[in-house]
């Protein structure tokens, strides 16, 4: 099963990246903490990532991959590579100008995205300095994403999936040498810049080994580029709604007490673990495959890919979300509470994590829903849903922070996710390739039941272990958390197999095919 193999490849390497990311976050929490410098750095980290994910890696990728796939299917490799090379040069030109303008006007940008910093000299000046260093990452990672799209379409998923590992290694190195810099935030900012260079060089080498020949020439704004830009227009919002919501969260959080942006960051890092491994894996693997199936009018294959992708997503997302809702305090305490990150920080971040996790399954499912639209070159339907969801998310955040503080922002994000889920389901009703089959309907009921049973077992286990193991800083905290993870995984796996949510014969067939391949 090509989809399962591709998802396993991406998920495995994304998992490796997340492990490196956790090491990075543990060091960041201990060395940087959750104070004003931390808030400033996290703004500097999110700024280029926001633009990159919404415009370049987000909207650009969902416009570029189907067109590149179509050229491979209907024309030839030379034409497809020429199209990709020209897109590379166009992106290089446009984003270079954007980066230079961003660096020049950074104080005004910080005032716009973190208005709460305006009356805080330390946070404002630090965020401006750090962001000027990190902003070129937008250009570097966007070019990397384009090359990743080329490789993914050629069914080479590993190189781009490995790129985030390089990013995390660079930031870990920056933390270890941060004592030689004026501040930890400054060291991390330079680490981001170096990471962007390393990721781009890595993808250039991998693309060359795959036979892709990058032609350096003056960019041509021809019909193909016009088509990309046309598809990107609505996709700027449609592909990046979650990141737009996170951006709005940062603006609102900048008005709250010091550390609020940091709590959102640390909680979101845990929430992003399943979202990254499952959501990114299915989106990365599914888009080129679904695009090819649509281009060749293979409706049966397209429907099978859609249903199995959604099935795998929810099979993994529901227990992950349940665990984050049931034991957020244990996770935050063990992973982050040390050094400059104290018990009060843990309590605040744990509540934020619980609220974020409520919407996790919906956001992962939305990855599949959006891919179904993008594979048909339809970026308008997702944008309509995104506009409605974004407005509601911002309005709900403003209301809920009055009662819950920073946790209200996370709860608004979780609630908005399910609103998007419902709207996507309704929007896909008329698309034959996106209709749910009997297997999915049968499996999903059993998956939900398995996740509920696991939650009860995990809750009871956490209560039994909490009184004597999570109250101190000994190694028993790590042992207890590991025990909870094992208990949760075993109980869910056992119930899922007994109930038939997981088909053992099908798993063996997929594993045998992977060995043969």
Contacts within 8 Å (CB) and 24+ apart, 486-492: 487/457, 487/458, 487/461, 488/319, 488/323, 488/454, 488/457, 488/458, 488/461, 489/319, 491/453, 491/454, 491/457, 491/458, 492/319, 492/450, 492/451, 492/453, 492/454
Give the list of residues 6+ apart from residue 4 with CB closer than 8 angstroms, or none.
Answer: 308, 312, 510, 514
Smallest CA-to-CA distance from 212 within 87, 367, 361 is with: 87
Q: Specify the 3-state DSSP secondary structure of 183.
A: coil
Burial of residue 512 (CB within 10 Å: 0-12, 13-18, 19+) is: exposed
- Poorest-pLDDT segment among 108-122, 271-285, 311-325, 416-430: 271-285
Q: What HEC string does 105-148 produce?
A: CHHHHHHHHCHHHCCCHHHHHHHHHHHHHHCCHHHHHHHHHHHH
In contact, 286 and 309? CB cutoff 8 Å: yes
Could you read off the pLDDT of 361-387 as tens digits, one per residue? 998 888 778 777 766 667 678 778 888
Could you read off the pLDDT of 153-162 as tens digits, one per residue? 887 878 887 8
Q: CA-based Rg of the chain, rounded to a whole angstrom?
A: 22
Burial of residue 330 (CB within 10 Å: 0-12, 13-18, 19+) is: buried
Q: Which residues of 249-288 are buried (b: 16+ CB within 10 A; e: fewer)?
A: bbbbbbebeebbbbbbbbbbbbbbbbbbbbbbbbbbbbbb
Whether the CA torsion 43, 44, 47, 53 is positive or negative: it is negative
Per-residue tokens: 176: 């270890």
DSSP bridge partners of 338:
341
In this prediction, residue 234 carries a pLDDT of: 63
DSSP bridge partners of 207:
none
336/352 Cα distance (integer angstroms): 14
Whether the CA torsion 94, 97, 103, 109 is positive or negative: it is negative
513, pLDDT greater than 50: no
Q: What HEC string does 152-171 produce?
A: HHCCCCHHHHHHHHHHHHHH
Give mean pLDDT, residues 14-27: 79
40, pLDDT greater than 50: yes
Map tokens 């010091």 to a residue. 258
Q: Which band of pLDDT confidence, cut at 50, 70 and 90, is reported for residue 243?
A: low
28/270 Cα distance (integer angstroms): 14
Average pLDDT, the chain: 82
In this prediction, residue 9 carries a pLDDT of: 63
Q: Which band of pLDDT confidence, cut at 50, 70 and 90, is reported for residue 135?
A: very high
Q: Which band of pLDDT confidence, cut at 50, 70 and 90, is reported for residue 177?
A: very high
In total, the chain counts a number of residues equal to 517
Q: Which residues of 158-177 are buried (b: 16+ CB within 10 A; e: fewer)?
A: ebbbbbbbbbbbbbbebbee
Could you read off the pLDDT of 294-312 as tens digits, one per residue? 666 677 777 777 777 788 8
Comparing 1 with 75, the larger pLDDT belongs to 75
164/16 Cα distance (integer angstroms): 9
In this prediction, residue 58 carries a pLDDT of: 57
270, pLDDT greater than 90: no
Looking at mean pLDDT, say which of 211-215, 415-419, 500-504 comes out highest.
Answer: 415-419
Q: Which band of pLDDT confidence, cut at 50, 70 and 90, is reported for residue 256?
A: confident
Comparing 414 with 501, the larger pLDDT belongs to 414
In this prediction, residue 97 carries a pLDDT of: 95
Q: Specify the 3-state DSSP secondary structure of 428.
A: coil
Q: Which band of pLDDT confidence, cut at 50, 70 and 90, is reported for residue 105?
A: very high
207, pLDDT greater than 80: yes
In contact, 277 and 363? CB cutoff 8 Å: no
In this prediction, residue 224 carries a pLDDT of: 83
Looking at mean pLDDT, say which of 139-153, 185-199, 294-308 comes out highest.
Answer: 185-199
In this prediction, residue 290 carries a pLDDT of: 65
């Amino acid at each position: 099963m090509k989809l399962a193999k591709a998802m396993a490849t991406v998920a495995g390497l994304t998992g490796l990246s997340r492990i490196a990311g956790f090491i990075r976050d543990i060091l960041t929490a201990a060395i940087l903490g959750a104070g004003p410098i931390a808030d400033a750095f996290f703004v500097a980290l999110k700024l280029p990532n926001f633009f990159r994910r919404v415009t370049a890696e987000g909207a650009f990728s969902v416009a570029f991959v189907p067109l590149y796939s179509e050229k491979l299917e209907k024309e030839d490799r030379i034409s497809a590579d020429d199209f990709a090379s020209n897109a590379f040069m166009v992106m290089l030109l446009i984003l270079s100008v954007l980066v230079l303008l961003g660096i020049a006007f950074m104080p005004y940008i910080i005032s716009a995205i973190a208005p709460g910093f305006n009356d805080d000299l330390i946070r404002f000046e630090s965020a401006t300095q750090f962001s000027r260093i990190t902003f070129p990452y937008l250009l570097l990672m966007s070019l990397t994403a384009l090359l990743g799209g080329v490789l993914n379409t050629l069914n080479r998923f590993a190189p781009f999936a490995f790129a985030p590992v390089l990013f995390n290694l660079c930031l870990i190195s920056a933390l270890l040498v941060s004592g030689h810099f004026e501040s930890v935030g400054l060291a991390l900012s330079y680490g981001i810049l170096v990471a962007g260079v390393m990721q781009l060089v890595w993808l250039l080498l991998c693309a060359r080994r795959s036979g892709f020949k990058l032609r350096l020439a003056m960019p041509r704004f021809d019909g193909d580029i016009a088509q990309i830009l046309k598809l990107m227009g609505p996709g700027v919002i449609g592909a990046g709604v979650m990141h737009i919501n996170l951006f709005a969260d940062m603006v609102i959080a900048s008005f709250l007490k010091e550390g609020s942006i940091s709590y959102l960051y640390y909680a979101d890092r845990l929430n992003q673990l399943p979202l990254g491994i499952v959501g990114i894996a299915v989106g990365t693997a599914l888009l080129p495959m679904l695009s090819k199936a649509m281009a060749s009018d293979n409706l049966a294959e397209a429907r099978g890919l859609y249903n199995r992708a959604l099935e795998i997503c929810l099979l993994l997302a529901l227990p992950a979300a349940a665990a984050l809702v049931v034991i957020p305090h244990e996770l935050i305490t063990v992973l982050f509470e040390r050094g400059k990150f104290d018990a009060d920080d843990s309590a605040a971040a744990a509540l934020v994590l619980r609220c974020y996790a409520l919407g996790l399954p919906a956001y992962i499912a939305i990855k599949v829903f959006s891919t179904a639209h993008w594979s048909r070159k339809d970026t308008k339907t997702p944008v309509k849903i995104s506009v409605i969801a974004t407005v509601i998310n911002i309005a709900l955040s403003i209301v809920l922070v009055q009662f819950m503080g920073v946790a209200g922002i996370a709860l608004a994000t979780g609630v908005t996710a399910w609103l998007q889920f419902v709207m996507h389901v309704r929007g896909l009703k008329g698309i034959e390739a996106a209709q749910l089959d009997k297997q999915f309907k049968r499996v999903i009921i059993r998956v939900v039941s398995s996740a509920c049973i696991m939650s009860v077992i995990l809750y009871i286990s956490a209560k039994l272990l909490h009184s004597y193991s999570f109250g101190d800083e000994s190694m028993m905290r790590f042992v207890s958390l590991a025990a909870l993870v094992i208990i949760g995984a075993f109980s869910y796996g056992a119930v899922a197999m007994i109930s038939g949510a997981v088909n053992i014969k099908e798993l063996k067939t997929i594993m045998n095919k992977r060995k043969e391949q």
